[in-house]
Amino acid sequence: MIHVDGASLSRHIQDDELVLVDFWATWCAPCRAMAPMLDRLAKDFPGLRIVKLDAEEHKDLLDSYNVRSLPTLQIYRAGERVDQLMGKVPYEMIRRAVQGAS
C-alpha cells in the first residue's frame, strides 16, 4: 500500500494498472476496520495497486473525487473510475468490484 498526496494520486490513477484508492482518516473507525480487508485484498490481487489518501490532510481533493463519506474506495483502470464503494462494506463486495474491473 502506498500513501499518496494529490499530485501522486493523479499519477497513480493515470497508470494503465488497476488502482484502488482508499480515502480514509485516522479518526474514522470504519476506515480502520477496513484496513485488514485491504491487506487481504493486496495478497489476493497482486496486480492491484492500492493507494491511500488521508482525507483529513487533503480535504481540498474530496470534492474533485466526489468523496462524500468515509471510507470511500474508488477503483480506476487506465485513468477512468470504474467503481466506487462508500462506507464499511464486506470483503466479498470489494473483491467482486475489483474482479469486475479487471
Neighbours of 41 (CB within 10 A): 20
The residues assigned a catalytic role are 28, 31
Domains parsed from the chain with CATH numbers: 2-101 (3.40.30.10)
Q: Tell me what pLDDT residue 69 has.
A: 95
What CA–CA distance (Å, rounded) separates 18 from 57?
25
Please determine, for residue 64, whether its predicted confidence score (pLDDT) is greater than 80.
yes
User: Is the bond leading into 46 cis (omega within 30 degrees of zero)?
Assistant: no
Q: Tell me what pLDDT residue 22 has.
A: 98
Q: Tell me what pLDDT residue 23 has.
A: 97
